[in-house]
Amino acid sequence: MRVTAFVMLMVLVVLAVMTVRTLNRLPDATLYLVRSEATSFTLVPTQRRLGSRDTESYARLAVRALAAGPTREERQAGLGSAVPDGTEVRSASLRNGVLRVDLTGSFVAGGGSASMRGRLEQLRWTLTQPSSVDAVELLVEGEPLQVLGGEGLMVEPTWRRTGGEVPRW
């Protein structure tokens, strides 16, 4: 009787460990990467495991993942990222549904107007994923981001996701 109970307990422990390991590998975030086509760009949702516990850590991990770019498999599928390598979140806070994200200066470095639009759209769609986020405010080095790039791409002070379809440009 004791041996049977011990064996059953061991089976339950093994099943619990296997379940936890499986859950830790499942995607918990949708990141938006860029697919470049002949004369246009499209955002493509991709599933990733970030392991975030709250909205602020989600913002940090998501921006870091976008800056790191696509995985090998995503790259082979023709996906890329317009968010410059080295872009980091200096701070992130959620208040009344508005996620305020302060990025490092790397975010505004280099690229033409298509690249600038791509990085803005990638952030808009990725950072508005958590259900607790209604809108996003972007800052760069502590200052509100109003204009991006030498061509003067105007940036809305508070972003809200518009419509259900990802943009093409």
Q: Is the pLDDT of residue 167 over 70?
A: no
Query: What per-residue confidence (pLDDT) applies to 75?
Result: 93
Domain count, the chain: 1
Q: Is residue 61 part of a domain?
A: yes
Element (H, E) at 75: helix 72-76
Domain that holds residue 91: 30-154
From CA 49, how far away is CA 164, in angstroms rounded? Answer: 23
Q: What is the pLDDT of residues 102-152, one digit of tens each?
A: 999 999 988 777 888 889 989 989 998 877 888 999 999 999 998 887 767
Q: Is residue 134 part of a domain?
A: yes
Provide DSSP, 113-130. Answer: HHHHHHHHHHHHHHHT-S
Q: Is residue 78 part of a domain?
A: yes
From CA 148, how far away is CA 109, in angstroms rounded? Answer: 9
Q: Is residue 164 part of a domain?
A: no
From CA 7, how far away is CA 13, in angstroms rounded? Answer: 10
Q: What is the mean pLDDT of residues 88-98?
A: 94
Q: Is residue 137 part of a domain?
A: yes
pTM score of the predicted model: 0.77
Query: What per-residue confidence (pLDDT) applies to 17?
Result: 45
